[in-house]
Structure 1
């Protein structure tokens, strides 16, 4: 299975993930100060959903409009629709992150239920919610990695769900290899118009 430089994005995606993690350090610091045993329930009820949802909101909106998060901008990779004709748009960006969004929503609901029932404790949050969320994230990342190895465009599982592909931006204006377009007349490649967003 031959993969062109256009789609060799694994290391760049990894770098992008690190940069995006750094972007959310302020949120993590705020978590450390806000999510404590002494915090009032109303504050936890407001902050925890906002904290949990912040990355999904960031990811969906940035990918929808620019095809890139700040991390991907630094790593010089871009998310396009599967036909490589445009950035994903809101629907595809949402679908691309839908599994992670669903897990986030489940975690938020689990936490809010405990807060409303008066059963929320810091131990519950750190030992149960974070444990299951972290375990899910690791399993999901492994599935993503395995999926990337099964196709020449290195599309991860969430790319198939969202109908997207990640490309190296420096190679974006190159003609899409024939091996990637065979059997699909929909794949045409981005415009070469100087005013194009690509």
Structure 2
């Protein structure tokens, strides 16, 4: 997505640009929120024939339930963007002691890793293979 945007908007794309990657992650979270909220599926889910539904009654979910389902991932991605901006500004201003920033980034990276692992673990051991974000959003993914 970010590569196509770079072609359209005329900025240089680099797969090593952490700021662009964090912006892309926010965009992907917003994409998931809107697609699940309006259609119950992303394009990938459409291709494999699965859909996100309300766990309690297997009815379609709305935008609010989709937002709740993706809220942690969206928050983590927004924080990554903010940390990228703060790091860029500090480096640009020539701040010499970046130890607090580095510590913050490492702690946040560890928390993000823990979140990712918890998603897989809960999916592997829960009824209907629901991940943590499904429990938060009160959703379930079903074959259609």
Instruction: Give TM-score scaled by structure 1 length.
Output: 0.53
Q: Which of residues 98, 110, 131 in structure 2 aligns to 1:156?
A: 131
Cα root mean square deviation, aligned: 3.5
Q: Does residue 1:66 correspond to 2:76, yes or no?
A: no
Aligned residues: 131
Deviating more after overlay: 157-166 vs 79-88: 79-88
Q: Which residue of 2 aligns with 1:172?
A: none
Give the Cα separation in 2 of the matches to 1:57 and 1:48: 14
Which runs of 4 or more aligned residues in structure 1 lie more than 3 Å from their structure 2 counterparts after TM superposition?
24-31, 33-36, 47-50, 128-139
Shift of 1:66: 0.9
Q: Unpaired runs of 5+ in structure 1?
A: 1-23, 37-43, 170-198
* Selected match of 2:14 from 32, 40, 45: 32
Higher helix share: 2
C-alpha contact (below 8 Å) 1:84/1:165 kept by paired residues: no
Q: Which runs of 5+ in 2 are unaligned?
A: 7-11
Aligned partners of 1:71 and 1:133: how far apart in 2?
29
From the CA coordinates, give the structure whose radius of gyration is larger: 1
Q: 1:1-198 counterparts in 2 under 5 A?
A: 24=1, 26=3, 31-32=13-14, 35=17, 50-117=23-90, 118=92, 138-169=113-144
Alpha-carbon deviation of 1:163? Answer: 0.9
Assess if the C-alpha contact under 8 Å between 2:76 and 2:112 holds in 1: no
Tell me how far 1:98 sits from its aligned partner.
1.2
